Amino acid sequence: MPISKRATAEFVGTFWLVFGGCGSAVLAAGFPGLGIGFLGVAFAFGLTLLTMAFAIGHISGCHLNPAVSVGLWVGKRFPGSDLIPYIIAQVVGAIAAGGVLYVIASGKEGFSLAGGFASNGYAAHSPGGYSLTACLVAEVVLTFMFLVIILGATDRRAPQGFAPIPIGLGLTLIHLIGIPITNLSVNPARSTGPAVFVGGWAISQLWLFWVAPIAGAALAGVFYRILAGDGKAD
């Protein structure tokens, strides 16, 4: 499959991930009387990944996340030559989703970016007021576990055809753990999309949501190769 088609699939998939996940947080989480809350947002992120994994997994592998691409590269599942095109497509897709979401959300009277626009943050901008250290550790550990799930589920020795299910449910689970801590990132593209529109604090704290997920993913790539050997997906 040409890189242009695979990158386009990553753009579309990441757009859906950010629009669906962050859109549920911005538009539906606190809706009066019927809000979906943290549980609903967690499932929204998991469902976006689950649906895209079935829709474009056979085209691009459905990474939708620079950290996933890095982790798969470190784990010898993804060629380094494709890393930059994938990351560019993912980040552009996330920003495009943030733009569409902004147009929709700002159409309601009283909308304000002061609410955070589903951006990730630490310390004063952590939903639960968690420290920088706590947020850093959470993002590294949760991304590490997410990549272990991905690497294991796509191992050629694992049951075939079911990988999107544990991966989607894994993303749901780590959101249930991490939303109160950082609004949960584990995905630099997902963090960048809303932050571009919020600016200010969201941009100044964005570094954490690039460094921690990529570090966690890279560690998982090394760990899984040591644990399981060559389990390259077919």
pLDDT of amino acid 234: 46
Q: Is residue 14 part of a domain?
A: yes
Residue 166 in this model has a pLDDT that exceeds 80: yes
Q: Cα–Cα distance between 126 and 7 in angstroms, integer?
A: 32
Planar angle of CA 20, 23, 27, nearest 5 degrees = 140
pLDDT of amino acid 127: 96
pLDDT of amino acid 110: 87
Q: Is residue 233 part of a domain?
A: no
Output the DSSP codes for the chain.
Answer: --HHHHHHHHHHHHHHHHHHHHHIIIIITT-TTT--HHHHHHHHHHHHHHHHHHHHHHHH----SHHHHHHHHHTTSS-GGGHHHHHHHHHHHHHHHHHHHHHHHTTSTT--GGG-TT----GGGSTT---HHHHHHHHHHHHHHHHHHHHHHTSTTSPTT-THHHHHHHHHHHHHHHHHHHS--S-HHHHHHHHHHH-THHHHTTTHHHHHHHHHHHHHHHHHHHHH------
Q: Is residue 183 part of a domain?
A: yes
Mean pLDDT of 111-133: 95
Token pair listed for 213: 């997920």
Q: Is residue 216 part of a domain?
A: yes
pLDDT tens digits, 76-118: 999 999 999 999 999 999 999 999 999 999 999 889 999 899 9
pLDDT of amino acid 33: 77
Q: Is residue 80 part of a domain?
A: yes
Residue 14 in this model has a pLDDT that exceeds 50: yes
Mean pLDDT of 217-221: 98
Q: In which band, very low, low, confident or very high, does the pLDDT at 156 lie, cut at 50, 70 and 90?
A: very high
Please give the mean pLDDT across all residues of the chain: 95
Q: Cα–Cα distance between 121 and 181 in angstroms, integer?
A: 8
Q: Is residue 215 part of a domain?
A: yes
Give the Å distances, CA to CA, from 14 to 76, 127, 132.
Answer: 22, 24, 27
Q: Is residue 180 part of a domain?
A: yes
Residue 231 in this model has a pLDDT that exceeds 80: no
Q: Is residue 234 part of a domain?
A: no
Number of domains the chain contains: 1
Say which CATH number the domain at 86 has.
1.20.1080.10
pLDDT tens digits, 18-52: 999 999 999 998 787 778 999 999 999 999 999 99
pLDDT of amino acid 141: 98
pLDDT of amino acid 229: 80
The domain in which residue 64 lies consists of 3-109+118-228
